[in-house]
Structure 1
Amino acid sequence: MTTVKSSNLGYPRIGENREWKKALEQFWAGTLEKEVFSKRMEEIYLSHLQKQKDEGIDLIPVGDFSLYDHVLDTAVMFGLVSNRFEYSGGKVPLETYFEIARGTKGAVAAEMTKWFNTNYHYIVPELDVAVPTLVENRPLHFYKEAKRKLNIEGKPVILGPVTFVKLSKGYKKSEFRKVVEQFVPLYARILCELQTEGVEWVQVDEPILSTTLSKEEVALFTDVYQTLHEAAPDIKVILQTYFDSLEHYEDIVKLPVQGIGLDFVHDRGQNLTALKSSGFPQDKVLAAGIIDGRNIWRANLEEKSLTLTAIAEIVSKDRIIVQPSSSLLHVPVTVKNEEKLDGTLKDALSFANEKLQEVVTLTKGLQDGVKAIEEEMKSSTIAIQKLNQSPLRNNIQVQETIQNLAEYKAKRESPYEIRKGSQGKAFQLPLLPTTTIGSFPQTSEVRKTRLTWRKGELTDEQYRVYIKAEIKKWINIQEEIGLDVFVHGEFERTDMVEYFGEKLAGFQFTKFGWVQSYGSRCVKPPIIFGDVSFKKPMTIEETVYAQSLTDKPVKGMLTGPITILNWSFARDDLSRSAIVNQIALALRKEVEALEENGIHMVQVDEPALREGLPLKREQWSSYLNTAVYAFKLTTSSVQDDMQIHTHMCYSDFEDIIDAIKALDADVISIETSRSHGELIHAFEQNTYDNSIGLGVYDIHSPRVPELEEVTRNIDRALQVLDPKLFWINPDCGLKTRGIEETIASLKVMVEAAELARERLLVNKE
């Protein structure tokens, strides 16, 4: 009898109630002993495996679990530890592992950047710090643990060698092949040891195959996987891709592996087209990513079943594995606890556990025929139709506005040079003005007070008085530190996207819909389920109050449209360009309201602009044009003396420099401290004529920077940037930092700025 298998690619680490996050932070705080911490993490991980087993998944991933990040796990498995951390070889100690990720008082943490086009951050491996050696066969450890404790014959998950090196730093591009070849014997040893242990299937993730690759890189894949196959010929390797269609389909499906994993959700139909036109090898299995691993909408099981049927016309059923399109790391754990959600919306949602159920259902349908899952298909169709017919998805006024966008100006009235003059007269700022990115520490007291208010245990007026007291305290602190441009601190905000989503029409929020962003940092993305529109001013009260307390300019703080879109779970029945323009028009009204209320600096943050860049280069232009238009739609209706700021997280600046120029923001700040030299080099190759602030110290690390370190970063930037255009700021918001370290760090920054001004004046004389 034909047997169709189900599989999963990865499960959320954080736990149904964020048990993982809580254990990590207790360990870091010193309130959880190492042995207790390790035991608790093991319990969490094993419970995740058991859940997948209970749902009926056949091929359960093992080794996808991490204490911080799976790319960092791969790096330390190969002993790649910088000499700025204490490490004497062998298995990397837990303390060193976390030091690499978080930094120490005397050592800067490793760089962190976005995982492809998602909002997950990975730790960038440094390949120039040591000769790679296999210090621990991590996949083998997790395989043996799952088998011994749960009797699960797991599917070890490994980040593939080509993707691992491609995502790393510390080597010349011309040496890419040579560097990859350094790792191949180590991967061969991992596979050999797994083979000896009796492992049947191994998932080797090579998502880089979904990006634009050269012929030389494709040839490298052939050589690498031929070597690995010869080293461990009896183990079954699934070469797993996700996030887009497979580049060079015909070449890759010929590789000497036993399975190919393809994304049939985010491929824009390209993988199925390639399958139909070029066929599929008879000696391989096709792991079909049919359930969306990145969004939270319930699958239309009838449509998914039709796709599987089309696949089965090319690949026999016994060679098809049904699975999500990617790891479920990117979605919350379960819908079942969302008791307060509107029933129509809740019925149309599917989180990780529900997606596993959908995978199992579709596996059954492919195995036994669609009649076996008729009820499930009917239920999903009704739930989706009911949401699509909801009035909130059919706001005629919003839809008509989007159809008439030409009526809205999306370009500033005057060029930057003229605006710069108007703003200079208005603000009278010193050379190298200092500021922060927006948020100040959200202490446990701030969070507790907000929660008390949300529970109805504080009146609106009591909460308002508390928030104003926090704003006043931090305005005074900024005066004492000596900053030039202030912020109100954002104490009323939970999350930079959630806050605005709560105040705009078309958004909904979950209670337990958390996902991992980086380390223990979890976010709860809003759900854009309807047409987005402005309801009433969102930031006026706090910003105007802050400005009333000081003669220094106070920036209004907004999250930009493309970031709100990229950091939300967006509806899938409307184009992303239409959604982002709806958001932009709503934010435009807030910018205008700030100006009307006497605020003449507004920061519209777009930290997620780069992460939304498509994996295929040929699609970059369309995406960037959409992002730039939405930003300008938000910011272009104001007068010349309104100074528009924006903030971005660092990631391959060269890829988007033309788009950044096109934004025409008066001031842009960029997160750069962990990779300052690389970004400065980008400015040596490219010009940028508006004002700019390159983050001069790292806020992701719980350490106070040394004056020498900040001074070095400033001086390096001034080698290529005009001092008249250079701002000095931290590299990101300070929400997650402690009060004492924040004040101390900002004092160092201001002192470094003052010293830099003095040097510039001396040199000028």
Structure 2
Amino acid sequence: MNKLLPTSTAGSLPKPSWLAQPETLWSPWKLEGEELASGKQDALSLSLQEQQQAGIDIVSDGEQSRQHFVTTFIEHLDGVDFEQRETVRIRDRYDASVPTVKGAVSRQKPVFVEDARFLRQQTCKPIKWALPGPMTMIDTLYDAHYKSREKLAWEFAKILNQEAKELEAAGVDIIQFDEPAFNVFFDEVNDWGIATLERAIEGLKCETAVHICYGYGIKANTDWKKTLGSEWRQYEEIFPKLQQSNLDIISLECQNSRVPMELVELIRGKKVMVGAIDVATHAVETPEQVADTLRKALQFVDADKLCPCTNCGMAPLPRGVARAKLRALSAGAEIIRRELAG
């Protein structure tokens, strides 16, 4: 990708209303069987078309074939019982009923590789594929087998590495690991979280990214953000070690967040996906607001390493709002490209 400031999304985009209930996280499918399979492909094609029309440079599947960014991957693994559920506290923020790890976890077959191949056939643009990171996976389960967050994370890292290698072979250009848990469990991130992520990317030749955000615009997350004070410095705890890691790209939440932009200096040298679109509001940014966020970031990120992006996934937003936000992202990036060229 040689274009300056290539735009991208963090991951999910709203699903069409004929596929799943709009503006809802974990929304159940409205189709089943063969109809669901072809419906997901139709939605993926539609999502790609919307990204391209909005001028997005690095495209994704919009997570159209996934109900949830973590559990859809876990559903395909052995060793996890979805019938036996326990209530756990997710990211120290809210309680959720989650499946139980009953035995050794393993992956018998690819999970997203067919979908990735389908996306690759539809476009010549660089494609990015998101997978859940090991720490966020263990934070979304009850572990009755390993009895150790770290042990289970290493097992998941091995499984993610198998999937990532097959995604790379299917033509994926960037593999992104979603790790919102990195903004919560700082000691674990530094002790073994980044190490397990490096295990997940072992041997990959494509670019790798880690997406660390403050979460979807759901009430549990927005309430939590209100407790974080006037400056959100969570990234400061983990950036020094991430800067030393083998990951190529760090994806961050910067729009309407209270993250002091100078923290980005701590990952100097990495590519940075700067979240310039707030996903927790229906208000659509102006291109100038997007440009302003990117200008601030350019004080701490070299222009050839800056990728304008969304803060997080947009699955819970109305489709029209998400489309307008993507257009604003592209237009804002174009303002800065012109300034840099001028």
Please classify the TM superposition score into its range, dividing by the shorter chain length.
Answer: 0.7 to 0.9
Q: Secondary structure at the match of 2:181?
A: coil
How big is the shift at 1:572? Answer: 6.6
Alignment-derived partner of residue 571 in structure 1: 144
- Answering whether residue 225 of structure 2 is matched by residue 647 of structure 1, we say no
How big is the shift at 1:595? Answer: 1.8
Aligned counterparts of 2:322 and 2:176: Cα–Cα separation in 1: 21
Aligned counterparts of 1:523 and 1:738: Cα–Cα separation in 2: 24
Q: Report the CA distance shift for 1:447/1:511 in structure 2 as closer, same or farther (over 3 A).
A: farther
Aligned counterparts of 1:573 and 1:545: Cα–Cα separation in 2: 36
Aligned counterparts of 1:491 and 1:595: Cα–Cα separation in 2: 19
Q: CA RMSD in A?
A: 2.4
Alignment-derived partner of residue 35 in structure 2: 462
TM-score, normalised to structure 1, is 0.39
- Answering whether residue 246 of structure 2 is matched by residue 682 of structure 1, we say no
**Equivalent pair of 1:516/1:522 in contact (CA under 8 Å):** yes
Alignment-derived partner of residue 122 in structure 2: 549
**Equivalent pair of 1:450/1:463 in contact (CA under 8 Å):** no
How big is the shift at 1:485? Answer: 0.4
Deviations 1:706-744 (A, max 9, x none): 223212111111122111111100100111111000000
How big is the shift at 1:648? Answer: 0.3
Where in structure 2 are the equivalents of 1:45-60 lying within 5 Å? Answer: none
**Equivalent pair of 2:86/2:142 in contact (CA under 8 Å):** no
Structure 2 runs not aligned, ≥5 long: 22-26, 215-232
Aligned counterparts of 1:515 and 1:577: Cα–Cα separation in 2: 17
Where in structure 2 are the equivalents of 1:326-405 lying within 5 Å? Answer: none
**Equivalent pair of 2:201/2:208 in contact (CA under 8 Å):** yes
Alignment-derived partner of residue 637 in structure 1: 203
State percent identity of aligned pairs.
25
Q: Which amino acid aligns with 1:635?
A: I
Number of matched pairs: 317
Q: Secondary structure at the match of 1:710?
A: helix
Q: Report the CA distance shift for 1:511/1:749 in structure 2 as closer, same or farther (over 3 A).
A: farther
Q: Which amino acid aligns with 2:113?
A: I
Alignment-derived partner of residue 17 in structure 1: none
* Pick aligned residue for 1:534 from 91, 98, 107: 107
Q: Secondary structure at the match of 1:431?
A: coil
Where in structure 2 are the equivalents of 1:144-293 lying within 5 Å? Answer: none
How big is the shift at 1:623? Answer: 4.9
**Equivalent pair of 1:450/1:492 in contact (CA under 8 Å):** no
How big is the shift at 1:562? Answer: 1.2
**Equivalent pair of 1:628/1:662 in contact (CA under 8 Å):** no
Q: Which amino acid aligns with 1:691?
A: K
Q: Report the CA distance shift for 1:447/1:638 in structure 2 as closer, same or farther (over 3 A).
A: same
Q: Report the CA distance shift for 1:452/1:475 in structure 2 as closer, same or farther (over 3 A).
A: closer
**Equivalent pair of 1:693/1:726 in contact (CA under 8 Å):** yes
Deviations 1:107-145 (A, max 9, x none): xxxxxxxxxxxxxxxxxxxxxxxxxxxxxxxxxxxxxxx
How big is the shift at 1:675? Answer: 2.4
- Answering whether residue 321 of structure 2 is matched by residue 741 of structure 1, we say yes
How big is the shift at 1:600? Answer: 2.7
**Equivalent pair of 2:182/2:189 in contact (CA under 8 Å):** no
Q: Secondary structure at the match of 1:728?
A: strand
- Answering whether residue 98 of structure 2 is matched by residue 525 of structure 1, we say yes
Deviations 1:244-281 (A, max 9, x none): xxxxxxxxxxxxxxxxxxxxxxxxxxxxxxxxxxxxxx
How big is the shift at 1:539? Answer: 0.5
**Equivalent pair of 1:437/1:732 in contact (CA under 8 Å):** yes
* Pick aligned residue for 2:272 from 692, 695, 715: 692
**Equivalent pair of 2:85/2:99 in contact (CA under 8 Å):** no
* Pick aligned residue for 1:627 from 169, 193, 215: 193
How big is the shift at 1:573? Answer: 5.1
How big is the shift at 1:586? Answer: 0.8
How big is the shift at 1:480? Answer: 0.8
Alignment-derived partner of residue 164 in structure 2: 591
Q: Secondary structure at the match of 2:256?
A: helix
**Equivalent pair of 2:90/2:140 in contact (CA under 8 Å):** no
Aligned counterparts of 1:477 and 1:467: Cα–Cα separation in 2: 15
How big is the shift at 1:559? Answer: 0.7
Alignment-derived partner of residue 205 in structure 1: none
How big is the shift at 1:612? Answer: 2.2
Where in structure 2 are the equivalents of 1:91-170 lying within 5 Å? Answer: none
Deviations 1:552-574 (A, max 9, x none): 01112211111101222233753
Q: Secondary structure at the match of 1:660?
A: helix
How big is the shift at 1:464? Answer: 1.2
Aligned counterparts of 2:47 and 2:10: Cα–Cα separation in 1: 14
**Equivalent pair of 1:653/1:679 in contact (CA under 8 Å):** no
**Higher normalized strand content (fraction of residues):** 2
Q: Which amino acid aligns with 2:40?
A: I
**Equivalent pair of 1:699/1:733 in contact (CA under 8 Å):** yes
Aligned counterparts of 1:566 and 1:522: Cα–Cα separation in 2: 11
Larger Rg belongs to: 1
Q: Report the CA distance shift for 1:747/1:516 in structure 2 as closer, same or farther (over 3 A).
A: farther
Alignment-derived partner of residue 758 in structure 1: 338
Alignment-derived partner of residue 24 in structure 1: none
Aligned counterparts of 1:517 and 1:446: Cα–Cα separation in 2: 27
How big is the shift at 1:601? Answer: 1.8
* Pick aligned residue for 1:732 from 280, 294, 312: 312
Aligned counterparts of 1:748 and 1:452: Cα–Cα separation in 2: 31
**Equivalent pair of 2:289/2:332 in contact (CA under 8 Å):** no
Alignment-derived partner of residue 656 in structure 1: 238
Alignment-derived partner of residue 24 in structure 2: none
Deviations 1:49-92 (A, max 9, x none): xxxxxxxxxxxxxxxxxxxxxxxxxxxxxxxxxxxxxxxxxxxx
